Every structure is written in structure tokens, then in C-alpha cells.
Amino acid sequence: MNITFKLCALAALLLQTLALPALAQDRRVALVIGNSTYKNAPALPNTVNDARDTAEALRKLGFEVVDGLDLDKRGMDQALARFARLAQDADAVMFYYAGHGFQFNGENFLVPLEARIDDEVSVQYETLKLSEVITALGFAKGVKIMVLDACRNNPFVAQLSKKQATRGFSVGSGLAPIARAQGMVTAYATQANDVAADGAGRNSPFTAALVQEMRQPGLEIATMFRRVQKAVYDATGGRQTPELSLSLLGDFYLNREETDADIWKRLRSSDNPAEIKAFIHRFPASFFAVDAKTRLDLLERRNFATSERAKLESEFAAREKALLERVQQAEKSRQQAATDLAGRDAGKTDAERSLPRPADRPTQAPASASVPAAKPSDAGERERLAKELARREQELASLEAEKARLSQERQDREKAVAARISAGAAVKELPVPEKPLLPSARPTRQEARPVPPQERTVLDRRSTDVLLGGGEPPAPARASKNRRPNGARDCTEDLMRAQLGDGGGNALKGCR
């Protein structure tokens, strides 16, 4: 029994945990109604388009939309009841209506498709009271928005005015003002007691502006409706001015997508050209588009420099490898020639050293004991070996000169690449590697057999000392392209990097 109880408790806890993310989500619900083909009133050609476009825009903003087109009284009541149930505890709710509406005795009414308004009774029972919509909105715990594109010409004024002489009621133009309620935003297509235009295009001027502004991310709702007011005023030449009644304690955003400023704040230090291109394509008229294009140009020039430098590295690496192999082979041959010559000299001195000293020699040596004269072949062999050593050393000197020419050619190519990258702008020159372009791979010289200094043949080794002992000669000093003649530094590149957030304030020191 205890095991069963524990399993049930664990299952309930798991279900509760899984349900928490759903409960934590921001719930948004909207009711959108557009009535057009009235049976007892003039048709409104744009209202269906207005409702469809508004519903589509709200769905993109995360609203669950209850929509209805050309609804009769029963249809409007059913849609309102469904909306009221969904609105319970919602974080934001919105009601949008496009169609005929009028005020009667200071109260506002929305007209269903088949309504026939002849008297006070028909007003009460054949229309939808706007107060009922406000009641449905009140089920939400969050922001409540009501948008009315309904104050168009009242087609029932004539019928109701006939009764006005005998009954104490009033019939006005447009819609009557609505009392403010906490947490409520009410937007009218035009001012209270005024008439709105239906429009000649797909949408009415008010809905066209509303849908356009809802697509703009990061607009606080008061700012959004102020922009709608300005757009409608301009589109109608000042004949229509929407009105807004707002009573919110905080900010509210219909479109919660990132703004161009938010996105650029994240991308301003990006090294991905694709992201920068996407930003420019998405926000071509943004204030930050110029900075984005500057950043993109810098990245493309950097990538071009990297690509060109990689090609140079690959090309010169192959050439330097081949030259290094030739240097190593020449050094081996030079060492062999030096060893052979040293061996020849060493053999000659050993033979001389084996002769008896003068004190030990007899006064008159027999002719058979005389020292044999040096053979001509020995002198010729030594001369040949000396010439071979000199030739090998000359070959090494030639290879070292070729190595210097290759290094100079590489530097010239890098300067040419930097000039193409700059394209007339102040671009820093490609950095020159600090390490030698062609490191000396010459093996450690092996000394020949020890020979007494007084008997060793001395050769001219000035070129050999340069090749074997010195390493790389210092590279000539190069003038920076970012230095001006008077000593001031050209900071165009540093300023551009500082604007893009790539450098600190220290980078601008010394600029004029």
C-alpha cells in the first residue's frame, strides 16, 4: 500500500513539474471580428480585409486568435463567450472590431450582419453592447487592449431620429467616449463623436497603419499608437486623427522581437560577415546600417588579407623548402671537401713528423737514407681539394644570396597585397614575421682531426664565417604607412575600429 501511494505521489509530482513550463508561458488571447456584407445597412468593402490582416499580424506576435468574419448576432455572442473563457488569467488580451458601430444614449453598440435598427428595442436586442466586450476583457489578469475601427457613418441615424421627438433619447455620430479602467488601452480609429474613413485600398487608413506598426519590434504600446496616429493623420490629410485612451502602470510591447538597436548591440563585435549581411538585409533603413556596412567592409578586407597571406605562405613555403634542401646539400659537400683537404694536410705533416730529429741524424747519412722528395701528384691533389672547397663555399654564398632575394621578394609581395587591401583607405600593412623567413637548417659543423696549429694550412674563410657563424643579417628598417611625415600617426583605421568596439582608448594616443 505504501509503495502504491509513493508511486502515485511521484507521478503527480512529475506531472506537476512538466506542467510548470506551460504555466510560466506568457498567454496572449485576441478576438478579431470584421463585418462587411450587411443586410440592412451599406456594405463595407474593407472590413473583412482589415480583420484578416489584423488576425494574421496578432498570430505572428504570439496571440491565440478567435476570429470571425461577417457574423450575425448569435455568431458574435458565441465568439465573445469563447474569447471570455480563453481570456481567464491571460497575461494580455485584445479585442479588434471593424464594422458598423454607433452610440445611443451615450452607450456604444456594435452592429451584427443582419441587424435591423428601427427603434430603441432593436438597439437593445439586435446589437452587441460594447460594455459586454469590456466585461469579457475583464477576465484577463494582465493588459487589456480594445481597438475599434467601427466609428464609420451610422446608417441608422435616420430611423432612430424619427423616434427622438417623442422619446427622450439621443443619437450621436461615431462612438461615445469610454470611461478609463485600470490596465486598459482603448484605441479609436478617430476621435470621439467623429466619423472614420473606410478607405479606398485594401484596408482602412487606421488598420493599414496599425498592422504596419505592429510589425515593428520593440515599440512600447503608447509609442506604437502615437505612430499610428501620425500615419493616419498624414494619410487623410488631417481629416482623421485616431484617439488613444491608456491607463497602464508599466510598459507593454505587442511586438517583443529584438529591435535593430538590440541586434546591433550584439553584432557590433561579430567577426561573421554572414550575420552582418543579414542585419543589413533585414534593417536596410536602420540608423546602424552605416556602421554595419563599415564593419562588413572591414571584415571582408580582413578575410581578403588572410586569404592572400595564406597563398603567400603556401607559395613561399614550397620555395623555401626546396632552397633549404639545396643549402643543406651544399653544406654537406663543403664539409666533405674541407675534411678531405684537412686530411691531406694532416697526412703530410705526420710523414714529416716521423723523420728523426737533427741531433739523432748521423753526420753523413747514406744516400739510401735521404728523405724522398714530395711527389708532384701530392701537390696537385692538394690544390684540387683546395679548389673544390673554395667552389663549395662559393656555392653556399650564392645560395645565401638567393635566400636573401627570396626574403626580399616575399616582403615586396606582402606590400603589394597590403596596397590592394587598402584600396585608398588607411589600412594597416600586413605584419612581417618576426622569425626569419628561411631558418638556417645547416647542421653543426664537424671539426676535422686535430692538427698542430703551427703545421695547419690556413685558408681564407671570410665567406665561410658569414655562412656558418652569423645567421640572418638584420632586415632594413621599414617606414610604417600609418606614420605621417611630421611624426603624427594616421589614426583613420584606429578611429574606425574604436567606433566598432574593437579597440580601447589607448589605441588613439598620439593621434593628430
Residue 382 located in a structural domain: yes
pLDDT of residue 190: 85
Give the span between the Cα atoms of 158 and 338, in whole angstroms: 126
Give the span between the Cα atoms of 387 and 384, in whole angstroms: 5
Pick the last residue of a domain from 211, 229, 247.
247
Backbone angles phi, psi at 423, to 5 degrees: 50, 40
Task: Give me the number of domains the chain comprises.
Answer: 2
Q: What pLDDT digit, counting tens, does each position of 330-353 carry?
A: 888 778 878 877 877 776 655 555
Q: What pLDDT digit, counting tens, does each position of 3-56 carry?
A: 555 555 555 555 444 443 433 468 999 999 999 999 988 888 899 999 999 999
- Say yes or no: 499 and 432 in one domain: yes
Pick the last residue of a domain from 247, 276, 299.
247
- Say yes or no: 333 and 436 in one domain: yes
Residue 460 confidence (pLDDT) above 50: no
Residue 323 located in a structural domain: yes
Q: What pLDDT digit, counting tens, does each position of 368-382 carry?
A: 445 455 556 677 777
- Say yes or no: 301 and 389 in one domain: yes
- Say yes or no: 239 and 305 in one domain: no
Backbone angles phi, psi at 264, to 5 degrees: -65, -35
Pick the last residue of a domain from 247, 267, 300.
247
- Say yes or no: 184 and 298 in one domain: no
How crowded is residue 153: how many other Cβ atoms within 10 Å of its Cβ? 16
pLDDT of residue 427: 41
Q: Taking the C-alpha atoms of 492, 496, 498 and 499 in order, what is their torsion angle to the nearest 10 degrees?
A: 140
Q: What pLDDT digit, counting tens, does each position of 183-223 carry?
A: 899 999 987 656 666 666 789 999 999 999 999 888 999 99
Structural domain for 450, as ranges: 291-351+378-472+480-505
Residue 368 located in a structural domain: no
Residue 104 located in a structural domain: yes
User: Global pTM?
Assistant: 0.55
- Say yes or no: 89 and 235 in one domain: yes
Q: What pLDDT digit, counting tens, does each position of 405-415 carry?
A: 888 887 887 77
- Say yes or no: 148 and 85 in one domain: yes
For residue 61, give the C-alpha cell: 506576435
Q: What pLDDT digit, counting tens, does each position of 125-137 carry?
A: 999 999 999 999 9
pLDDT of residue 428: 42
Give the span between the Cα atoms of 258 and 60, in whole angstroms: 14
Residue 5 located in a structural domain: no
pLDDT of residue 464: 42
pLDDT of residue 444: 45
Residue 118 confidence (pLDDT) above 90: no
- Say yes or no: 298 and 243 in one domain: no
Residue 329 located in a structural domain: yes
Residue 226 located in a structural domain: yes
The Cα-based distances of 390 to 17, 23, 379, 457 in angstroms read 89, 92, 17, 14
- Say yes or no: 177 and 301 in one domain: no
Residue 14 located in a structural domain: no
- Say yes or no: 315 and 404 in one domain: yes
Q: What pLDDT digit, counting tens, does each position of 301-317 carry?
A: 877 777 777 777 777 78
- Say yes or no: 310 and 455 in one domain: yes
**C-beta of residue 393 within 8 angstroms of C-beta of residue 330:** no
Average pLDDT along the chain: 75
pLDDT of residue 311: 77
User: Among 38-42, 90-94, 109-113, 435-439, which is the least confidently predicted range?
Assistant: 435-439
What CATH number is attached to the domain comprising 54?
3.40.50.1460
Q: Does 216 or 172 have the greater pLDDT score?
A: 216
Q: Does 480 or 178 have the greater pLDDT score?
A: 178
- Say yes or no: 140 and 71 in one domain: yes
Position 146 confidence tier, pLDDT thresholds 50, 70, 90: very high
